[in-house]
Chain A
Amino acid sequence: MNNSSIIKTKGLSYHYSKDVQTLFDIDLNVERGSVYGFLGPNGSGKTTTLSLLLGLLNNQKGDIEIFGEHLQANRINILKKIGSLVETPSVYGHLTAKENLEVYREVYGASKARIAEVLNIVGLKDTGKKTTKKFSLGMKQRLAIALALLPTPELLILDEPANGLDPAGIIELRELIKTLNKTHGMTVMISSHLLGEVEKMVSHVGIIFKGKIIFQGPLSELHSFKQKTSKVFIKTSDNETVFRLLQEYQPEKAGEAVTVPFENIKQVAAINRKLTSHNLDVYLLHPKKSDLEQLFIDLTTTH
């Protein structure tokens, strides 16, 4: 195993029923110190993958190494160093926030002071005797994050943690994850289908679609890929001529328009000059930069 890897899976496959394969040969590589965004549309296999990493599902095929140890052989030791939140928050409604944390405090070997610390981190220190069944979904989600932070984990696995949070809560969560990563050195693996949201906090990205990893690497690699897929939409008095004139840019027809990939805005100006110099009336020149959202759609529709 690469020393910089904190999670490494090889050939991970899973099926809930014999006829329906959910995961196909998943090779994950989450580097120590990174914030790894695990992206995919609903039903793509994100939660199944994370459930396998946390031992919630029995591994059927493939290998999982976390902290350089095999999960099946060292499950308890590994779980001691992981904080997790899988989908909906898991909290006891009849207990207060503090009591919920107290339930797991000694299981994780955390100090009493740590409870106050994590409640402070997630902004729930003033909830007093209010039981969590009276909490909003956002508050429950924050408490679940506090529970994940209780063991001062080396690795934080968060499955769709932004679910139920309002915009301010999402911003707070993003800042919290950045702080945990930078200040406390935690490696964070965060799954989401909110692509724009994840883009702002991750250093690495893995995209899963229909149970297969279709992209994995640093965010910068995804950005350069993104740049290549930015396109300018052109409508003129003679699109056929445009198509012929811009052959060097590898144009494509898109309905009544022609699309041409571009890397910077100066190229768009150069294209415009070329078109007008050939006496074409330019009705539309719309440079459309591809965002992660669009790229994600592109990636998941071409596979």
Chain B
Amino acid sequence: MNLLISLRSELLKTRRTASFYLTLIGAAVGPVVFLLNVLLDEDELDGKSKDPLNALFKMLSEMNGVALFPFFIILICTLLPQVEYRNNTWKQVFTSPQTKANVFLAKFMNVHLLMLIFLIATHLFMFLTIVAINFIKPDLDLFNYPFNESIVIVNAANAYLVMLAVCAIQFWIGLRSRNFIAPIGIGFALWLLGTIMAVQMKSSLVHYFPYSFQAYVVSPKLKLQLTQIAWTSLGYALLFLIVGFFDFRRRTVSK
């Protein structure tokens, strides 16, 4: 109950913040890029003519899984704690009758809520994009093709699960850093390193490096180990959540 009260408090703080707008704007990027492609390039759908709906959602899940969703997590894990730093409100948080465990978990749950909103919103926007294309180009007759919604859900769930580790690490860094740039810089640098490592595939380190895990969602070779990676990601998430909490519990505010 107290945790829910703390979560309510965190949700109210998120109103009208950059975090909230970023969630919606970030979720729209993939569908908008696709819409522009179709509008500007007559042949965009040619290669997908046999199974266009499933091909479009596969493309969305790849675009989100490799880049947009990890970028979003890195940004959101930095932006959410920044609300307290920017407004000098940590002291108000710590002098209110909430345990540090509740504050920590409520903030983490808030991050996950925004991640889920991102995933739901991006698919919703994609659906709206398809409706729009169908309206603009009725001869494509998109809704007469098969649509495998279970694959869409599984892809989204996989994208979420493999990113749990990165989320916990970035949350820890974002929570302890007063500086806005450092956590984002660290996150992007590690993402780039992880992606390069995954593409090169020369080291087994890629199986243990959380910032490479996004590649397992899209790479046909790596996809075979996706279940194992999802568990590894969950394990890392728990580890860094515990480390992050003990670090957070030590925190004091003098000014």
In Å, the complex CA distance between A63 and B91 comes to 21
A5 within 8 A of B: no
**Interface-forming stretch among B11-19, B121-129, B152-160?**
B11-19
A56 within 8 A of B: yes
Interface residues contributed by chain A, number (CB under 8 Å): 33
A174 shortest CB reach to chain B, Å: 23
B83 within 8 A of A: yes
In Å, the complex CA distance between A256 and B94 comes to 56
Interface residues contributed by chain B, number (CB under 8 Å): 27
B96 lies within 8 A of A51 (CB) = no
In Å, the complex CA distance between A47 and B89 comes to 16
A106 lies within 8 A of B8 (CB) = yes
B5 lies within 8 A of A99 (CB) = no
A90 lies within 8 A of B97 (CB) = no
From A99, A102, A107, give the contact of B96 (CB < 8 A). A107
- Give per-residue flags for A102-116: 1 if the beta carbon is below 8 A from chain B beta carbons, else 0: 111011100000000
Within 8 A of A (CB), among B227-255: 252-255
A211 shortest CB reach to chain B, Å: 14
In Å, the complex CA distance between A48 and B252 comes to 11
A84 lies within 8 A of B95 (CB) = yes
Which chain A residues lie closer than 8 Å to B12 at the CB level?
Answer: 95, 99, 102-103
In Å, the complex CA distance between A101 and B89 comes to 13
B13 lies within 8 A of A95 (CB) = yes
B253 lies within 8 A of A51 (CB) = yes
Which chain A residues lie closer than 8 Å to B37 at the CB level?
Answer: none
In Å, the complex CA distance between A58 and B99 comes to 15
- Give per-residue flags for B90-111: 1 if the beta carbon is below 8 A from chain A beta carbons, else 0: 1110111111000000000000
Chain A residues within CB distance 8 Å of chain B? 16, 47-48, 51, 54-58, 76-77, 79-80, 82, 84, 86-88, 90-95, 99, 102-104, 106-108, 131, 147
